[in-house]
Structure 1
Amino acid sequence: MDFIKTTEADSNYNQLEQMSVNQLLTNINNEDKTVPLAVEKAIPQIEILVNQVVTKLKTGGRLFYIGAGTSGRLGIVDASECPPTFGVPHNLVIGLIAGGDQAIRKAVEFAEDSKEQAWKDLSAHNMSNKDVVIGIAASGTTPYVIGGLKACNEQGISTGCITCNINSPLSQVAKFPIEVVVGPEFVTGSSRMKAGTAQKLVLNMITTTTMIQLGHVKGNKMVDMQLSNNKLVDRGIKMLMKELSIDKENAKNLLNKYKSVRLAIKNYNHGN
């Protein structure tokens, strides 16, 4: 199969500058509606990769994301939300971006064009074959990401990818590829739009499913979440009230004592 970049194909719309605000918003929304359906088609691929991630993390491994630009930022967002949401260590899920942390806010010119830099960035984390590395690139052609996965394969490290083109060079390199084909963007080539949305949805699915499989959710609640602000403390109190059938004051006292929803439930049940 020939490799065709549908992410770079001409938009299905033209004369965008002549559209009204309402027309622009409506047409963008119509395109966005197609993204979850594209993700749905990729669930079999996502499942295979998630099973690999769960297996690796259960044996003491870590999950790494590598990407450039929007893709790199999305990986960092997903990684950074795991500790507060699921109470896991900050080094369990790690996002790396071409150009380093400064590239999170501002584009770093030509950072994505180095084939060697990703492995250098990963090597700073003492990689082992217990780890799994997922390369994120809408186009599936980013040298930083492809080079990183190639190096991981040579070291016996499991590799996956999230891309929005079929049969891309990145998919050929990744052992567990995910291809979510969203088609042409509303603004031709602006892959921060549908492709970025698709990547975000898949990342949500990967880490949420993995963390549930690892036991960080009870029922449907984030019992291991970090109580790092008043909103989360209040959420924790409500969880305890519902789970233990106790009033707000008792729930508050339990949370103050144990500093963890899970520990509060465990110790309350043991004490009663």
Structure 2
Amino acid sequence: MSDNATASTAAPTTDATKKVLRLDNVVKRFGDNVVLDHVSFDISQHEVVALLGPSGSGKSTLMKCVNMLERVNDGQIWLGDTDITDPRVNQDKVRRRIGVVFQQFNLFPHMTVLNNVTLAARKVFKWDRDKAEEKAMGLLKRIGMDQKAREYPDRLSGGQQQRVAICRALMGDPELLLLDEVTSALDPMLVGEVLEMVSELKDQGATILMATHEMSFAHRAADRIVLLRRGKIAENGTPADVMDNATDPETRAFFHSYDS
């Protein structure tokens, strides 16, 4: 992280273009391997940004840096007006502002759906059980899962489990939702129901950064595409500009490989 980063310095924002997330020249190394090489982009409130790129391009590492699972070597990451790369920042407080859904569902098998969804709200946010369950049932009802509230995860399909994991991430009304390849562990027949839920969240105004290999979905659902290549941003623009009209040969070859 840059030596001059301070917790009290605020990233400038305006009401019209409130920046929920901003990456400023982020560098991440593992030994001599530079995984993220001066990556800069931002996400405005209610914007959906799809993070694309070939395997090894740095997508998962970037997501982990945003969620503070990895420390950056240089640059800054801002969540609203908080520099979350400052070592003095309260990581627990920052993580409460971010909802995260990973490739694996990570549901506790010995807990019902309802208990899985309410666990963090009760243990981290210190909500009483009635408040947590009321919020959880509302979320589950929105996705047609309220009748499964008393079931255990092994009674659910993979798509249903992933939708429950997304509900769990939404319990604290996060400022930013991180979706890291949320369909990659699913049978292809179940991918659609999870993507449909993400589309609904977009329509409801959620702010989302999603790493995905679902190109057609990214084209349809994202407001903007950030394409990583060898740890650098190769493209940053609308789906039409990046996926349909790019002039860079490597970019065109990357998307062509998914069409063929």
Q: TM-score, normalised by structure 2?
A: 0.31
Higher helix share: 1
Higher strand share: 2
Q: Which has the larger radius of gyration?
A: 1
Q: TM-score, normalised by structure 1?
A: 0.30
